[in-house]
Amino acid sequence: MEKSATRWYSQLYVQVLIGIVIGGILGYFEPGFAARLQPLADGFIKLIKMLLAPIIFGTVVVGMAKMGSIKEVGRIGVKALIYFEVLSTIALVIGLVVVNVIKPGVGMNIDSAKLDGSAISKYTQVAHDQGGTVDFFLNIIPSTFIDAFAKGSMLQVILLSVLMGVALVQMGPVSKPLINIIDLLLQGLFKIVAMVMRLAPIGAGAGMAFTIGKYGIGTLLSLGQLLIALYLTTLVFIVVILGTVARWSGLPLMQFLRYFKDEILIVLGTCSTESVLPRMMAKLEKLGCEKSVVGMVLPTGFTFNADGTCIYLTMAAIFVAQATNTPLTFMDQCVLLGVLLLTSKGSAGVAGAGFVTLAATLTTIHTIPLVGLVLLLGIDRFLNEARAVTNLIGNGIGTIAIAKWDNAFDLKQAQREIAALDHAPVVPASASAPPSGIEKG
Q: What mean pLDDT do residues 283-309 have?
A: 87
Which tens digits make up the pLDDT trace of 427-440? 444 444 444 443 33
Query: What is the pLDDT averaged over residues 4-9?
Result: 54
How high is the pLDDT of residue 3?
Answer: 45
pLDDT tens for 201-245 read: 888 888 888 878 876 666 556 577 888 899 999 999 999 999 999
Q: 33: how many CB neighbours lie within 10 A of its CB?
A: 12
For residue 120, the model assigns a pLDDT of 59
| Average pLDDT value for the chain | 81
Sign of the CA dihedral 212, 217, 218, 220? positive
Over range 299-319, report the average pLDDT.
87
Per-residue model confidence (pLDDT) at position 436: 41
pLDDT-wise least confident of 48-57, 168-177, 363-372: 363-372
What is the tens place of the pLDDT at every residue in 83-116?
A: 999 999 999 999 999 999 988 888 777 766 666 5
Distance of alpha carbon 111 from alpha carbon 372, whole angstroms: 9
Segment 313-357, tens digit of pLDDT: 999 999 988 888 888 888 888 888 888 887 776 554 444 567 777
Predicted structure pTM score: 0.80
What domains appear along the chain, each with residue ranges and CATH number? 2-424 (1.10.3860.10)
